[in-house]
Structure 1
Amino acid sequence: MSNEKKPNIGEDFIRFHRIVTRSLEVGLGNINEFLKGGGVDKSKREGFLNYVESFSSFLDGHHKVENQLVFPYFKPLLPEVPYVQLMTEHKEVESLLQEINSGLNSLRSKKDEISSLKQLKSSFVKIDHIWHPHIQIEETQLFQKVGSLNINMDEMTSIQKKFSDFFQEHTGPAYLVVPFALYNLSPEDRALLAAGFPEMVTKQLVPGDWKDKWISMQPFLLR
């Protein structure tokens, strides 16, 4: 997904981390604004719900890929990485994502927006607290070292496809999660990520068939 000539799954996962890092900042920033304003801005309501839903799905799928495929693959190659610690932190985040999903359901019911927003804020803050030291370990001890491992191009391409297929099976809906991923990245990173998708997705579905479904998220996305 990072470069057809020299694929590197480590660079891909660092890029995925950038998606989560930005969406944590955007999500929390907007939650704070809504709390100050006494509730969700009506003009941003649908987009905000879709954005947070996509964030939850993306992060959950990302951790499932790491737990079930990435860590088992790299453990024999990089045994010094604290995999148990990382998976324990994934479990903590999984519980917090369940809280986020509960807060989203409460927001959709329109019963008590302030309480729902406070619940979302609490969960976002807790994930943010775990996230930054967590990815520091993953990136410095694992993903930044992938390029120096003795993995040939065919093998790297094969595991990239395996990881990508698994991620797609465990996230959704694609018409929200794919644009969410692409447009939480800088144009340069976006182009690298998009190169790993079929052209039908990036040139037809995202800008065409899916656009009416994800366009509400645009106020929260990078152009």
Structure 2
Amino acid sequence: MSDHDRLVAWGDELTRIHTQLRNALDVARAAVEDAGEAEELSDHAARNLLLYCRGFCAALSGHHRGEDAVLFPELLAMRPDLVPVVAQLTSDHNMIEHLLGGLAAAVESGVGTEEQLQHLDGIEAVMETHFRYEEKKLVDLLNEAELEKTKRQYFGPLAE
């Protein structure tokens, strides 16, 4: 771990990553909308759509895998009273992963724009509720924590 990682306000890092994921969702939504406005989906537009949607899905999944595998076990070791909070967050991760699978299948199958946007709307609703709950329950605790691993181990590929 670098000296920079030792000085991290972990809760602020969590909030920063959530903002990045919200922005990535906006980019994926714009790609779907742009593809839907085209009279005929060009190869270039189709590749962009796959790239942005897959990128968003990979970033969100990677973030949740880091939390589930590394961050949550450490939090529970420090604070066993967080079992219900972590259980809810883990349940949300599973629901979001299911929704991401539906989006990936929709994008790869080439279904219409409206159906793809419905998938994004569902992901956004669950993701936003999840992020707000997680931030409410964990940001202050994380900002006081002295964690030993790297930001990427805790928060996934978007961590700096």
TM-score of the aligned structures, taking structure 1 as reference length:
0.59
One-letter amino acid of the structure 1 residue matched with residue 14 of structure 2: F
Contact residue 71 and residue 83 of structure 1 kept, 8 A: yes
Match of 2:92 in 1: 89
Q: 1:162 to 1:96 in 2, by over 3 A?
A: closer
Match of 2:125 in 1: 129
1:3-30 superposed Cα distances (whole Å, 9 cap, x missing partner): 8161233332222211111111222233
Give runs of ≥4 in structure 1 deviating > 3 Å. 36-45, 116-119
What percentage of residue pairs aligned between the two structures are identical? 20
Contact residue 9 and residue 142 of structure 2 kept, 8 A: yes
- Displacement of 1:143: 2.6
**Alignment gaps of 5+ in structure 1:** 108-114, 169-180, 182-192, 197-223
**Higher helix proportion:** 2
- What is the alpha-carbon distance in structure 1 between the residues aligned to residue 2 and residue 52 of structure 2? 24
Match of 1:71 in 2: 72
Q: 1:10 to 1:40 in 2, by over 3 A?
A: farther
Contact residue 99 and residue 119 of structure 2 kept, 8 A: yes
Contact residue 36 and residue 113 of structure 2 kept, 8 A: yes
Q: 3-state SS of the aligned residue for 2:149?
A: helix
Q: 1:102 to 1:133 in 2, by over 3 A?
A: same
RMSD over aligned CA atoms reads 2.9
Contact residue 31 and residue 48 of structure 2 kept, 8 A: no
One-letter amino acid of the structure 1 residue matched with residue 153 of structure 2: F
What is the aligned residue count? 157
- What is the alpha-carbon distance in structure 2 between the residues aligned to residue 51 and residue 103 of structure 1? 14
1:45-83 superposed Cα distances (whole Å, 9 cap, x missing partner): 323321111111111111111112111111243434611
**Alignment gaps of 5+ in structure 2:** none
